[in-house]
Amino acid sequence: MPSPPTESGSPIRLVVCDDDSAFRFLVRNWLRLEPAFEIVAEVGDVIELVPAVAACRPDVVIVDGGSRPESARDPVADVRRIHPAARVLVVSGMPAWTLKELIAITRADGGVSKSEGMDALVDAIRRVAAADKGR
C-alpha cells in the first residue's frame, strides 16, 4: 500500500472535470482503490469547475483538455485565479505530441493521455502533487 502522499499524511484531494460521464465513472472507481486519493468534487464541464474548486480547495484538479467550450474561459487560468496552490493535470484523448503542446499552451502542471490507462493517470497525479509548487 502506498504511503499517503502529502506531508500531513492526508490524501491528495482531487477535483475531476470531464464531459465524459463514463470516464469520470472509471476515474472515480479506480481512484477509490487508492487510499492516497480523495475525490472531493466531480463536474461535467468547465463552467461547473470554478465553483467546485472554490468550494473544495483541492490539491490537484484533473481537467479534460478537450472540454473547453469556445464561450468559456481557460479552465487552467480559472483554477490558478481561484486557488493558486492547486496543481492542474490535463487529461486528453489526443496523441502525446498534441498533449505536450496543450500542456505548454495552458501552462498546466502535467498531462496524461486517456489512452495510457488508469495506472498512468495515478502516476501523473502523484507526480503533479509532489512537484515543487514554485511555478
User: pLDDT tens digits for the chain (135 residues)?
Assistant: 344 455 567 899 999 999 999 999 999 999 999 999 999 999 998 889 999 999 999 999 999 887 555 445 688 888 999 999 999 999 988 776 678 888 888 889 999 999 899 999 999 999 999 986 544
In a domain, 3, yes or no: no
Domain count, the chain: 1
Q: Which residue has the cell 489512452?
A: 115
Host H or E run for residue 111: strand 110-113
Q: Measure the CA–CA gap between 48 and 61, rounded to whole angstroms.
A: 13
**107 lies in which domain range?**
12-130
In a domain, 5, yes or no: no
Q: What is the CATH number of the domain that holds 73?
A: 3.40.50.2300
- Residue 101 has a pLDDT of 83
In a domain, 1, yes or no: no
In a domain, 26, yes or no: yes
- Residue 26 has a pLDDT of 95
- Residue 133 has a pLDDT of 54
CB 59 within 8 A of CB 84: no
- Residue 4 has a pLDDT of 44
Residue-wise burial string across 19-48, b where 16 or more C-beta atoms lie within 10 A, e elsewhere: ebeeebeebeeebeebebbbbbbbbbebbe
